[in-house]
């Protein structure tokens, strides 16, 4: 791919790194906080943290030039919250009661596959052979990394429930893709606060006691980085790469978690850790070397999103306020109809049929 696609790929990898770090860091807190309550606190932490960032940032700060959510965006956003923020954790929680930990770890890698299948089948996202190969390699590496040869393994109705949770998260990812051109802070803040509040109500209804203020703040801080900033980066990558490619790169998260466990806790990863590493790197290289080019048409469109005037899609003129110094700004504008041929990904400009 051209160098312009390196930046969104790095965002996806950084998103995976922040999310992958949540597993080893959570080990320090789960001994004191119940899992359900822990989930609610990290979700709330992501929402509160991003609310504070947006509230206190100056007018020229990062993300201040993003497009706001409109009434057409809310059905997608609410659907994402219901599927990924509420239904998926509940299904997973009940399924984990009867599913061996090793089996659950393996099955959770199905999220990237589910996201890609839904993106292709329901939203007609273009996927080439390199993307399928990259997804296969990264998923294989994640499975190897999660494999526990000494533990119990099995396949049951509960295991199917874990797969169901992955499908729900795949729906969440694709629904979020449809609003990825809008302000990521607003999207993640709403998802975090709504899902976190629901989980907190469930936790209190189950009679779970709140931990000390110190532990609450630590869990919320973890949520801010591993769920808040991570998903913001995920959304910004998805608007340029599409759901399938971003999810494939996000599949590196288990490796990040395992690497940090090795670094922080001196946990021995064994042979499979070092076998999975080159497989995952090869998968990332397949994504990096992907080329997708053909003659395609951009129909005339009027919409709003963050943009600058460094491409053929944004040749419109401005009236009134001056364009920001960094070139990026957001307002309602029109894209003229154009037919051309160049390398591209399923970004917000290139979601045409193939």
pLDDT at 81 over 70: yes
pLDDT at 351 over 70: no
pLDDT bucket at 68, cuts 50 / 70 / 90: confident
pLDDT at 152 over 90: no
Domain contains 351: no
Tokens for 342? 């160049």
pLDDT at 232 over 60: yes
Q: Which of 294, 309, 326 is the last residue of a domain?
A: 294
Domain contains 349: no
Residues 132 and 38 in one domain: yes
pLDDT of residue 59: 46
pLDDT at 308 over 70: no
Domain contains 353: no
pLDDT bucket at 323, cuts 50 / 70 / 90: low
Q: How many CA atoms lie within 13 A of 302 on its CB side?
A: 1
Residues 93 and 50 in one domain: yes
pLDDT at 217 over 90: yes
Mean pLDDT of 97-114: 67
pLDDT bucket at 168, cuts 50 / 70 / 90: very high
pLDDT of residue 150: 52
pLDDT at 88 over 70: yes
Helix axis angle, 184-205 to 88-96, nearest 10°? 40
pLDDT at 149 over 60: no
Mean pLDDT of 250-265: 69
Residues 315 and 211 in one domain: no
The strand pairing partners of 307, in sequence order, are 329
Nearest to 303 by CA among 181, 152, 171: 181
Q: Residue for token digits 């490619």?
A: 245
Residues 330 and 185 in one domain: no
How many domains is the chain partitioned into structurally?
2
pLDDT bucket at 121, cuts 50 / 70 / 90: confident
Mean pLDDT of 166-193: 90
Mean pLDDT of 267-283: 72
Domain contains 350: no
pLDDT bucket at 113, cuts 50 / 70 / 90: confident
Domain contains 46: yes
Portion of the chain with pLDDT greater than 90, in percent: 15
Domain contains 354: no
Domain contains 119: yes
Backbone dihedral angles phi then psi of residue 48, each to the nearest 5 degrees: -65, -45
Residues 74 and 155 in one domain: yes
pLDDT bucket at 112, cuts 50 / 70 / 90: confident
- Enclosing domain of residue 148: 3-294
Nearest to 235 by CA among 88, 80, 118, 87: 80
Residues 163 and 305 in one domain: no
Are the beta carbons of 96 and 102 closer than 8 angstroms?
no
Mean pLDDT of 264-280: 69
pLDDT of residue 22: 78
Residues 11 and 112 in one domain: yes
pLDDT at 57 over 80: no
Residues 152 and 204 in one domain: yes
Least confident range of 12-26, 194-208, 276-290, 305-319: 305-319
pLDDT of residue 49: 92
Tokens for 111? 């999220």
Global confidence as pTM = 0.73
Residues 177 and 310 in one domain: no
Residues 308 and 232 in one domain: no
pLDDT bucket at 1, cuts 50 / 70 / 90: very low
Q: Which residues contact 269 (CB under 8 A, 6 or more apart)?
A: 145, 258, 261, 262
Domain contains 352: no
Q: What share of the chain is helix, strand, coil (3-state, %, to 5)?
A: 60, 10, 30
> Which pLDDT tens digit goes with each residue over 16-25?
888 877 767 7
Residues 94 and 176 in one domain: yes
pLDDT of residue 77: 94
3-class secondary-structure state, position 2:
coil
Residues 217 and 335 in one domain: no
Q: How far apart (Å, rounded) are the C-alpha atoms in residues 86 and 224?
A: 18
Tokens for 43? 């979700």
């Amino acid at each position: 791919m051209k160098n312009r696609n390196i930046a969104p790929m790095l965002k996806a990898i950084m998103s995976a790194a922040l999310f992958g770090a949540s597993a080893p860091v959570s080990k320090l807190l789960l001994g004191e906080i119940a899992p359900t309550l822990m989930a609610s606190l990290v979700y709330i932490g992501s929402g509160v943290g991003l609310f504070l960032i947006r509230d206190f940032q100056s007018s020229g700060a990062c993300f201040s030039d993003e497009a706001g959510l409109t009434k057409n965006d809310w059905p997608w956003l609410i659907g994402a919250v219901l599927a990924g923020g509420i239904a998926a954790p509940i299904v997973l929680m009940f399924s984990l009661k009867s599913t061996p930990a090793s089996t659950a770890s393996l099955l959770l890698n199905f999220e990237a596959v589910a996201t890609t299948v839904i993106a292709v089948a329901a939203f007609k996202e273009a996927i080439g052979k390199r993307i399928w190969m990259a997804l296969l390699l990264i998923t294989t590496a994640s499975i190897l990394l999660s494999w526990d040869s000494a533990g119990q393994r099995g396949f049951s109705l509960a295991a199917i429930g874990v797969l169901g949770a992955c499908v729900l998260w795949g729906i969440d990812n694709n629904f979020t893709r449809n609003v990825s051109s809008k302000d990521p802070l607003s999207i993640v803040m709403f998802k975090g606060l709504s899902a976190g509040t629901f989980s907190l109500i469930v936790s209190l209804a189950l009679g779970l006691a709140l931990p000390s203020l110190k532990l609450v703040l630590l869990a919320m801080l973890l949520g801010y980085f591993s769920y808040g900033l991570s998903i913001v980066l995920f959304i910004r990558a998805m608007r340029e790469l599409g759901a399938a490619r971003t999810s494939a790169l996000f599949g590196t998260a288990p490796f990040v978690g395992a690497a940090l466990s090795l670094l922080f806790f001196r946990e021995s990863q064994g042979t499979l850790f070092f076998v999975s590493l080159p497989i995952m790197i090869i998968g990332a290289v397949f994504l990096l070397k992907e080329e997708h080019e053909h003659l395609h048409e951009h129909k005339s469109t009027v919409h709003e999103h963050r943009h600058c005037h460094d491409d053929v899609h944004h040749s419109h003129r401005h009236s009134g306020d001056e364009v920001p110094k960094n070139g990026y700004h957001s307002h309602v504008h029109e894209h003229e109809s154009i037919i051309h041929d160049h390398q591209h990904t399923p970004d917000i400009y290139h979601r045409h049929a193939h």
